[in-house]
């Protein structure tokens, strides 16, 4: 059996509070694997820890604890000098394309920089490579002399994608890559990402609030709530038969692309617990209509209910929650 390209085990990230012994728990014991050529979606409310997971995987921020493997090599223990050769194989596309681009650089300069850092050769060779990158992301070559403020948001994101694939990476973390785009441009960018994945066998960690896009582009999905993965499975498992109460509430809040499809309503009430003072038991217990007394004082672990469908809810795992319609 082929080894996964990325493996994350018990990832924890805590941010200390100034002038205090307390900390914010951003990521709590998150584990997952991503196969080569696969797209894993991370979904959940803002503040659930999705972006922090992506930045830890790329070592843009150091995890508090846990282990991360890339190509079966643990990268969390590598020094910066040892890790540097791997950076070109692991890239990121950011949420806000304009702010991720250097305003002093033309599009050509932005794309030429990683090529030169990788020893792209003489200027003529770099020009050819930049031209090829523009063609791959379907960007008009006339835009190569433009500055970011002269580009549309869709063109800016194409530049961001081109910069990410310039070093021929294997893993690309996509952090809300379409959230700042209008619907027509969003569809074009998603089609581009799918085409690039097929052409270069890219592996994606796709972070998004856009559940329709996640359902279209991803192979498997991890639902995060308050630093934890609460449900994990294939797109069909999570979107067609969600079992965790939070997953049900999240999906019922999103409009399906087909207006004829009616999803069952599932509402949560109450306030989200503070990430500085997390509950002892299930983090959703204070908001969950299915919660019992045991949920409030018994920690919940991920349980496999079959075919790789994982649930962090003892009631769902035992079939004690009514079916989804």
DSSP annotation string for 86-149? HHTTEEEE-S-TTTTS-TTS-HHHHHHHHHHHTT--SHHHHHHHHHHHHHHTT--GGGGG--GG
The mean pLDDT of 275-302, rounded to a whole number, is 90
Residue after which a domain boundary falls, among 218, 235, 255: 218
Are 68 and 24 within one domain?
yes
Measured from the Cβ of residue 8, the count of other Cβ atoms closer than 10 Å reads 23
The mean pLDDT of 177-198, rounded to a whole number, is 92
Q: Which of 91, 54, 291 is nearest to 171 (CA)?
A: 91
* 280 domain-assigned: yes
* 5 domain-assigned: yes
- List the single range of 84-93, 156-165, 248-257 with lowest mean pLDDT: 248-257
* 293 domain-assigned: yes
Output the CA torsion 83→84→90→94 (10° steps). 120
Domain that holds residue 176: 1-89+169-218
pLDDT confidence bin for 182, thresholds 50/70/90? confident
Residue 9 in contact with residue 209, Cβ under 8 Å? no
Are 207 and 299 within one domain?
no
Looking at the DSSP bridge assignments, the partners of residue 207 are 42, 175
The mean pLDDT of 92-114, rounded to a whole number, is 94
> For position 315, what pLDDT does the model report?
81
Contacts of 191 (CB under 8 A, 6+ apart): none
pLDDT above 90 coverage of the chain, percent? 74
Are 200 and 262 within one domain?
no
Are 321 and 179 within one domain?
no
**Where does residue 66 fall: left (phi above 0), alpha (psi -120 to 50 degrees), or beta otherwise?**
left
Residue written as token pair 């082929």: 2
Are 178 and 85 within one domain?
yes
For the stretch 18-53, pLDDT in tens is 888 899 999 999 999 999 999 999 999 999 999 999
Structure tokens at 230: 């609460």
The mean pLDDT of 136-154, rounded to a whole number, is 96
Are 72 and 14 within one domain?
yes
Residue 300 in contact with residue 313, Cβ under 8 Å? yes
Number of domains the chain contains: 2
pLDDT confidence bin for 147, thresholds 50/70/90? very high
Q: Which of 80, 157, 106, 168 is nearest to 132 (CA)?
A: 168
Structure tokens at 319: 């079939």
- List the single range of 87-101, 226-240, 248-262 with lowest mean pLDDT: 248-262
Residue written as token pair 């090529």: 115
CA distance 191 to 275: 36
Are 208 and 296 within one domain?
no
Residue written as token pair 């069952």: 264
* 300 domain-assigned: yes
pLDDT confidence bin for 2, thresholds 50/70/90? confident
> For position 324, what pLDDT does the model report?
55
Measured from the Cβ of residue 103, the count of other Cβ atoms closer than 10 Å reads 9
Residue written as token pair 């399906």: 256
Structure tokens at 90: 């692991």
Residue after which a domain boundary falls, among 218, 235, 253: 218
pLDDT confidence bin for 121, thresholds 50/70/90? low
- List the single range of 117-126, 216-225, 275-284 with lowest mean pLDDT: 117-126
Report residue 259: phi and psi, to 5°: -65, -15
Are 191 and 267 within one domain?
no
> Does the pLDDT at position 286 exceed 70?
yes
Are 73 and 182 within one domain?
yes
> For position 259, what pLDDT does the model report?
60
> Does the pLDDT at position 134 exceed 80?
yes
Are 181 and 82 within one domain?
yes
Structure tokens at 124: 């003529």
**Where does residue 67 fall: left (phi above 0), alpha (psi -120 to 50 degrees), or beta otherwise?**
beta
> Does the pLDDT at position 123 exceed 90?
no
CATH code for the domain in which residue 84 is found: 3.40.50.300
> For position 322, what pLDDT does the model report?
64
Structure tokens at 229: 């993965």
Could you list the beta-strand ranges (E) of the chain.
Answer: 6-16, 23-34, 39-43, 65-70, 73-74, 90-93, 171-175, 203-207, 220-225, 228-234, 303-304, 310-311
Are 265 and 203 within one domain?
no
pLDDT confidence bin for 179, thresholds 50/70/90? confident
Number of H helices, E strands in the chain: 11, 12
> For position 120, what pLDDT does the model report?
60
* 140 domain-assigned: no
Are 256 and 310 within one domain?
yes
> For position 255, what pLDDT does the model report?
61
């Amino acid at each position: 059996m082929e080894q996964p390209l990325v493996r994350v085990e018990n990832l924890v990230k805590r941010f200390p509070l100034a002038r205090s012994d307390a900390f914010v728990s951003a990521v709590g014991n998150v584990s997952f694997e991503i196969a080569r050529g696969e797209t894993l979606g991370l979904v959940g409310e803002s503040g659930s820890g999705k972006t922090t997971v992506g930045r830890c995987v790329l070592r843009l921020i150091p995890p508090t604890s846990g282990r991360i493997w890339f190509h079966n090599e643990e990268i969390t223990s590598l020094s910066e000098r040892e890790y540097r050769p791997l950076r070109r194989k692991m890239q990121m596309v950011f949420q806000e394309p304009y702010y991720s681009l250097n305003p002093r650089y033309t599009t050509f300069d932005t794309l030429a920089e990683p090529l030169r850092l990788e020893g792209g050769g003489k200027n003529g060779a770099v020009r050819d490579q930049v031209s090829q990158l523009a063609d791959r992301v379907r960007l008009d070559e006339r835009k190569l002399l433009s500055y970011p403020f002269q580009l549309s948001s869709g063109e800016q994101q194409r530049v961001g994608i081109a910069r990410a694939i310039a070093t021929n990476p294997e893993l690309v973390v996509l952090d809300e890559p379409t959230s700042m785009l209008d619907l027509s441009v969003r569809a074009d960018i998603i089609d581009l990402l799918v085409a690039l994945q097929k052409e270069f066998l890219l592996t994606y960690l796709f972070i998004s609030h856009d559940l329709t896009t996640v359902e279209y582009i991803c192979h498997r999905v991890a639902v995060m709530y308050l630093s934890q993965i609460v449900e994990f499975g294939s797109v069909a498992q999570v979107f067609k038969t969600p079992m965790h109460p939070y997953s049900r509430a999240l999906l019922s809040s999103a409009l399906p692309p087909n207006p004829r499809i009616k999803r069952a309503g599932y509402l949560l009430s109450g306030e989200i617990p503070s990430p500085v003072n997390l509950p002892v038991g299930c983090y959703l217990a204070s908001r969950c209509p299915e919660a019992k007394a045991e949920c409030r004082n018994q920690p919940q672990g991920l349980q496999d209910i079959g075919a790789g469908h994982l649930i962090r809810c003892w009631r769902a795992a035992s079939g004690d929650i009514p079916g989804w319609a």
